[in-house]
Structure 1
């Protein structure tokens, strides 16, 4: 052996003993005490210095570098891993590892009954000890437990060797045992061996004296009488029992047994999880401690089923046996470690009469029975770490597989797998296995509804399948309907009850966590950030965080994601949310429920106000805001928060309506709609207006209808938007609401502009501007003034359009990025039409920077479309096509069909300018299909005009004339109509 740690530290290299400094020797000792295992840098520092200098980390790195050079060629390797180092030792070269392997062989021979071979192996292994581990090295206190552990192993090995020699009839053990009991007077096993050795040597009187001395010490030091085995020996001595003349009984051979429940016949899926767990259980063959793998997850997710399947797959890896014990709680709480230890010891053949009472002694006996045995211990449904620590084997050949609803964060050395519900395919397969594949296959829609109602929770799916299997003629669709209406009440069959599975976990929670769980269900939140919990509870953030941590560690919530706003999100399974709402309705009074939801709604409103400060206002009179203090809010940060909390805010709006909080709901809807329109959640924006309308408040309903007109415009439904604005204008005029009139006018102007009523649109725009100026509504004016730019450009008044755009840019604040971006795009369009295309490109690029900085993908798509058109006009066709393709891709990603069509139109125009009518034709046909009849007549007409040009270039004159005549009818009496008439020669 080249490396020694069991005594003084000695290292040998190719040139003989390696000379080490004191600190290098300490570092090497710390690594050799943990061979082939990562030792953290912090632990190494603590091992080398009791009071580390500031340069400790740098010094450690230097020592490692020096050791690598000094040990080069020795076979030993110091490898950096993570934040520590691994000392890789070649097989058979370190005395500690040779000792461990010799001990394993000795115990194997002993268990097989080959005592002579066991004697030789014990002798060789124990002879490797030359003193205390690393006795010549001053090590920090952090390594004291490791050294104590090794010395305890030596003491156990010596005791086992004595058993072997007593069984072989050796009579030279009295002196050795006298020395051992003098050194360890409280170890009863040594006294027992001394009594037997003295008796075998014919020294009965001395044996009786040894018993008397042992009793005296135990009573004086521990206050206890000798144990049953020592008392039995004493009685046999007094009686002259012949049994004592026989060789002492060896420990009973280890009983190889399998306690695993039967594997589940209809087990499905989980291939990835099984592969990962097998890898974890089989990793690190040179380890010094048993692998501990924890499978955690919410109740009913299939942890035990997976663990049993895995344990059966691992039987060949652990041939000495597989133990299985349930730790889960019942009505009296979690099972106690003492009870669990007794169960395991009895399983291993230990007579109940000799099982000691103290937990520590039971644990020590269990470790002794499992020592160096390849045993897999499955500990199912652990509740807390304290249950487990006494149940773990002490040697590396064993392994432990734990299942728990909790993450058990304080379980040292465990590697963890969080088990999620199966995917849709595996969930459906499980339902088919239990209920029958043919039956489920005949009702795929109902099966999908069932799986959705079950949240793909395996226990719930199994209950559903069992219920369907017991009633083979029951329509699957009927059960799906019942399940959707009755939830947990339907998820009971035989001994399986989903609600009952949840109850123990809920009951075991401390009060704050229980209330947080209930209120999450009450609010209907399947995913929440910490602020939501704090608002519901009405407590500071730290208290909410503590409740969340408890729920996560107990498996009632999952926390594996961070949203786009950087907030950790806490997710509640669908069925747990149903159960949580049940508990809220049962345990919270109506007043307390309303108070919690009201707090949450008000907090949603406060945060939404802040998040929308730099987002374009929706087209309705704005609410008064508190003056801004500090730096301007970041548009992207606000939009990211709103995106992350979109479902939360929708639920809060529903809650506000149900609570009768009309003003709060209306204001929340107003601010929220601005974001929803910007990020193209148009269906949500429409749903928001329906919620507000349901309040029955006339003013709130009118505001909702005004915002609905904006949704129609953004969808490209310009004619319905124009009609709705007309109705609203009549109502506002009747009530003398000039502020509402201003917004209805600007909305109608936008719709009219897109349907080709350019003159009427311009009239509406300037009328709205006059009213907004009278109300000193700067936010509304910022938006309204963009329309004259576009409309004047449509009328061919490019100079006027550019003049307005520049004037508005001069008075718009730098921090109003969104408004400036819109104005820059409009200015670019005016300049392009006026022939100042190079400057237009500059303005477009400025506008694009603003859109990208704000994270507004739809606006970026619009700017890219305009930029592509300008690049094409400059003859930079490749750049133009690339830019327009990027524009169309953004519109597709955002579901913006009108924008996608317009990008296609622009691609067609660029291909025409490039002289490629074939490809132009393809783009233009796609664009025309995307511009519905109810959408923009102007853009349909323009697309038809370009189609006519493409047909003409291809010599398809009849089709060309047809496209132009259709365009002429759509243009009406405009400048562009005259242009098309010229193409027709009219």
Structure 2
């Protein structure tokens, strides 16, 4: 149809929609609403302008000329008459003419007693209306009467159509009639039709209520009583007149009633998801399209249960019936759309002999059958969009709910509801409703173990609950133990089988996706990025990506997460991982499994070499490497953060594969990142795995160097120092001078932390001599750190400053080294009384730390910066810097760093003479340091804590605290300062 005016104005030419200006649309709309009738020039002008300009006549002529040009090639002809203009076009090219013709056919058929033909014709007529006439054209007020006339024709046609359907015995008109009476509450004919429809639906009391409502409206609005038709119908209803139930015509449609499976009596939770589903299902789409809701998720997550539950809630909204159709696979594979259409048409009352042969003809018949019905269609376990599209109705009165493991992303116009696992509370409630709340409540730990073994998957929980319900005397703890050891073997009961459910989905996958699924489960990485899948498969990134996409589309893999490096991450549900590993053990040979895991270990090693090349060196001699390959853009700290669990796991995997050298190198490079970010438990885990597997003493001792760095990072300097002393002896024994140098420099760090400065300086100088002989520049950068800080602790600030400047001159472009040296130089300036100069160096160091992403280094610089700003009286800036430092230390698990930043903040509050706040901060810092914290820092915190006590008037407490500080300081300028505080207090 080329032209439409019963709704938005539409004009289609040979090349598609014709675009017209606002005035051209107004002229065309006016002519189309008076087809084949001469419209005077004056009426055209009034239709276009409420206040026409002087040039209106000329303008109308111009618009008509432009329309003739724009509509060239269409069936419309504009005719000029002496008094105006007319448009000529065939009846089938204008919706208004087609509407009038369909109404005429309907009335002729009705007069001839052909009610079914009349119903079809009326339906075609009403379906042509898409809104108010020319609703998007700006027309003058003169057109209001014509618009009202056309709308009255629609109301009359709809009323006659309802009469015909009532005559045919249709009793599914209630919802439609309620809409009609709401739109036209003073039309008595519509109220009569509603009363009759209610009565024939078995709702006699509601029919009487409708009469009372109509009577109240008429009295309130018009001050009149209902007319004869309503009054007589009311009397007949009261009398129970059997004639009202007579249905003279054969029904045009035998509705499917309700084909839904039974609702689940123990349905729990899903309130938010249910609300989304119901809201979407009750929405009527614009432009006549039906609501479509796709509920997706992994196998067993409860898609069908939720959808059937919602469908039962929606029954009243779709009174013409509710259809349920399973789309899943049969023995021959996914069910064909043509077969599904045949089943669907039969359920809608179509005689099997009348169902067409071809798919498109069946789809067309379905749309015709549903055109004026309100039917809810549930399509369960859809495989893909091609299976669903032919089953969709064409009008907005129907609704389609689809369950699928895929989101069906290219199904047009659908609302998508991805279904996640339920929360622990809902999962617990489901299990208790099936197995018994009192029984499970008596063993809460076992209950939680069962839920975790089920991975919170509703299907698995339902099976577990049923197993317990069958055997009411079975101890819950015993079942929980069996689940932990034999999960999929235990999760089967009656017709429910978790392994079988997974198996159906697995069998439907193409072989590349099945292989990817098996190897991802075998690797047991928790979550993976595409590069991990490519390594396991031994394929290109594109091939791996295609396999991952297939698994996601099949609902076997989740992909809703983007990691810190910007990579999509893919996760297997825990039970799916168990199933995938089963399939790998059954289908892949030991050689194939070992090769896949080995490829992944080697790829982890290749990538971590590049990712850690700019990080601070670990506390062990470096591996001599060629220049590492560059990582893809966006890698670095973010990539290491995203892949930490994968990389830690790869160390254990390498050990299990017997790749001990690779495991040691992986753990070495990884410790650079783990120490930087404070993941010390991971350092311990990986190094202990290497030590246990090491085949030679050198490998074991170097792994122990990295392991001894953990207590050093935690501030346990005594424990760490003893460990490094033993390691130094071990390296001396086997002749490993490089390892001995690192044992010395790390022992120097421990002596420094413990306040043993002379011993620290001696170890540092010996280590520096060894490292210079060995040519280890990275080790030298680390080793020179300690003489600088030791000189500062000994009050030799000028010497520390000189060393910093000398090292900076030789640091070149190494930003990490420059950042550390600038922080040390700033500290030397601060201790020399040059706080403003210190701030300048700190800010430069902080910028470097932020650029290269070293959060721990940034925390240390912020602590020092806050200290210097506080000394300058810039208190707000100081507090901001120290709060930032505390957050960074807290995030990285650096308890010592957080304690020192809190101490510095307490100092700032003392400078502000806010002693009470300082007291709380300093007490917290001292508690955080603990009894094993560095003695020098414990003494410093106690010194300031005493000042805070004195500031709030607690003299005795202040003196006691200072005496403890003096004991820890023993001697030196800081001890003298505490002695002076005590003397002043006395």
User: TM-score, normalization: structure 2?
Assistant: 0.76
| Secondary structure of 1:645 counterpart | helix
Matches within 5 A, 1:300-311: 300-311=300-311
* Residue in structure 2 matched with residue 600 of structure 1 by the alignment: 600
Residue deviations 1:391-441, cap 9 Å, x none? 222222212111111233443433322211112222222222222222333
* Residue in structure 1 matched with residue 700 of structure 2 by the alignment: 701
Matches within 5 A, 1:254-653: 254-627=254-627, 637-653=635-651
| Secondary structure of 2:403 counterpart | strand
| Secondary structure of 1:27 counterpart | coil
Distance change (3 Å), C-alpha of 1:418 and 1:98: farther
Q: Is the 8 A contact 1:254 1:369 kept in 2?
A: no
Q: Is the 8 A contact 2:302 2:459 kept in 1?
A: yes
Mapped partners of 1:532, 1:107: distance in 2: 67
Matches within 5 A, 1:832-843: 832-843=830-841
Distance change (3 Å), C-alpha of 1:251 and 1:861: same
Distance change (3 Å), C-alpha of 1:324 and 1:911: same
Distance change (3 Å), C-alpha of 1:585 and 1:115: closer
Distance change (3 Å), C-alpha of 1:113 and 1:877: farther
Distance change (3 Å), C-alpha of 1:811 and 1:976: same
Distance change (3 Å), C-alpha of 1:757 and 1:122: closer
Q: Is the 8 A contact 1:382 1:388 kept in 2?
A: yes
Distance change (3 Å), C-alpha of 1:95 and 1:396: farther
* Residue in structure 2 matched with residue 677 of structure 1 by the alignment: 675
| Secondary structure of 1:559 counterpart | strand
Matches within 5 A, 1:151-190: none
Mapped partners of 2:481, 2:842: distance in 1: 55
* Residue in structure 2 matched with residue 26 of structure 1 by the alignment: 18
Please list every run of at least 4 consecutive aligned residues from structure 1 whose deviation after the TM superposition is greater than 6 angstroms. Answer: 9-13, 17-25, 29-32, 97-110, 112-117, 126-129, 248-251
Distance change (3 Å), C-alpha of 1:743 and 1:103: farther
Cα RMSD for the two superposed structures: 3.6
* Residue in structure 2 matched with residue 740 of structure 1 by the alignment: 739
Q: Is the 8 A contact 2:288 2:394 kept in 1?
A: no
Distance change (3 Å), C-alpha of 1:424 and 1:966: same
Mapped partners of 2:624, 2:288: distance in 1: 68
| Secondary structure of 2:286 counterpart | coil
* Residue in structure 2 matched with residue 208 of structure 1 by the alignment: none
Q: Is the 8 A contact 2:106 2:121 kept in 1?
A: no
Deviation, structure 1 residue 979 = 3.3
Mapped partners of 1:453, 1:540: distance in 2: 35
| Secondary structure of 1:669 counterpart | helix
* Residue in structure 2 matched with residue 756 of structure 1 by the alignment: 755
Q: Is the 8 A contact 2:99 2:128 kept in 1?
A: no
Mapped partners of 2:902, 2:97: distance in 1: 75
Mapped partners of 1:330, 1:862: distance in 2: 65
Match of 2:860 among 854, 862, 866: 862
| Secondary structure of 1:379 counterpart | strand
* Residue in structure 2 matched with residue 195 of structure 1 by the alignment: none
* Residue in structure 2 matched with residue 802 of structure 1 by the alignment: 801
| Secondary structure of 1:879 counterpart | helix
Mapped partners of 1:127, 1:321: distance in 2: 25
Distance change (3 Å), C-alpha of 1:342 and 1:115: closer
Deviation, structure 1 residue 509 = 0.9
Mapped partners of 2:805, 2:105: distance in 1: 93
Mapped partners of 1:961, 1:11: distance in 2: 94
* Residue in structure 1 matched with residue 780 of structure 2 by the alignment: 781
| Secondary structure of 2:618 counterpart | coil
Mapped partners of 1:98, 1:469: distance in 2: 68
Deviation, structure 1 residue 105 = 14
Residue deviations 1:189-229, cap 9 Å, x none? xxxxxxxxxxxxxxxxxxxxxxxxxxxxxxxxxxxxxxxxx
| Secondary structure of 1:455 counterpart | coil
Deviation, structure 1 residue 916 = 2.5
Deviation, structure 1 residue 24 = 11
Residue deviations 1:147-173, cap 9 Å, x none? xxxxxxxxxx9xx99xx99x99xxxxx
Mapped partners of 1:536, 1:101: distance in 2: 68
Distance change (3 Å), C-alpha of 1:373 and 1:848: same
| Secondary structure of 2:288 counterpart | coil
Please, which runs of 5 or more residues in structure 2 have no aligned partner? 26-62, 64-92, 135-156, 169-247
Deviation, structure 1 residue 106 = 11
Distance change (3 Å), C-alpha of 1:98 and 1:409: farther
Distance change (3 Å), C-alpha of 1:256 and 1:512: closer
Distance change (3 Å), C-alpha of 1:125 and 1:694: same
Q: Is the 8 A contact 1:712 1:718 kept in 2?
A: yes
| Secondary structure of 1:377 counterpart | strand
Mapped partners of 1:781, 1:669: distance in 2: 22
Mapped partners of 1:99, 1:437: distance in 2: 65
Q: Is the 8 A contact 2:684 2:707 kept in 1?
A: yes
Mapped partners of 2:343, 2:658: distance in 1: 59
Q: Is the 8 A contact 1:379 1:402 kept in 2?
A: yes
* Residue in structure 2 matched with residue 51 of structure 1 by the alignment: none
| Secondary structure of 2:317 counterpart | coil
| Secondary structure of 2:539 counterpart | coil
| Secondary structure of 1:381 counterpart | strand
* Residue in structure 1 matched with residue 724 of structure 2 by the alignment: 725
Q: Which moved more, 1:823-832 or 1:599-608?
A: 823-832
Residue deviations 1:736-781, cap 9 Å, x none? 2111111111111112111111111111111111111111111111
| Secondary structure of 1:308 counterpart | helix
Deviation, structure 1 residue 448 = 2.4
Mapped partners of 2:344, 2:632: distance in 1: 62
* Residue in structure 1 matched with residue 685 of structure 2 by the alignment: 687
Q: Is the 8 A contact 1:99 1:126 kept in 2?
A: no
Deviation, structure 1 residue 113 = 9.2
Distance change (3 Å), C-alpha of 1:28 and 1:633: closer
* Residue in structure 2 matched with residue 811 of structure 1 by the alignment: 810
Distance change (3 Å), C-alpha of 1:667 and 1:629: closer
Deviation, structure 1 residue 702 = 1.2
Distance change (3 Å), C-alpha of 1:25 and 1:591: closer
Q: Which moved more, 1:854-863 or 1:656-665?
A: 854-863
Deviation, structure 1 residue 621 = 0.4
Mapped partners of 1:932, 1:943: distance in 2: 11
Deviation, structure 1 residue 930 = 0.4
Q: Is the 8 A contact 2:435 2:469 kept in 1?
A: yes
Distance change (3 Å), C-alpha of 1:97 and 1:390: farther
Q: Which moved more, 1:350-359 or 1:708-717?
A: 350-359
Residue deviations 1:592-651, cap 9 Å, x none? 110110000000000011111111111100011223688x999x8411111111111122
Deviation, structure 1 residue 805 = 1.2
Distance change (3 Å), C-alpha of 1:851 and 1:476: farther
Distance change (3 Å), C-alpha of 1:912 and 1:113: farther
Deviation, structure 1 residue 972 = 3.1
Residue deviations 1:645-678, cap 9 Å, x none? 1111122111100010011000000001110111
| Secondary structure of 1:417 counterpart | strand
Distance change (3 Å), C-alpha of 1:339 and 1:117: closer
Distance change (3 Å), C-alpha of 1:453 and 1:984: same
Q: Which moved more, 1:941-950 or 1:470-479?
A: 470-479
Q: Is the 8 A contact 1:431 1:461 kept in 2?
A: yes
Distance change (3 Å), C-alpha of 1:628 and 1:296: closer
Q: Is the 8 A contact 2:943 2:961 kept in 1?
A: yes
Q: Is the 8 A contact 2:6 2:129 kept in 1?
A: no
Residue deviations 1:66-86, cap 9 Å, x none? xxxx9xxxxxxxxxxxxxxxx
Mapped partners of 2:444, 2:298: distance in 1: 27
* Residue in structure 1 matched with residue 886 of structure 2 by the alignment: 888
Mapped partners of 2:104, 2:459: distance in 1: 45
Mapped partners of 1:126, 1:453: distance in 2: 55
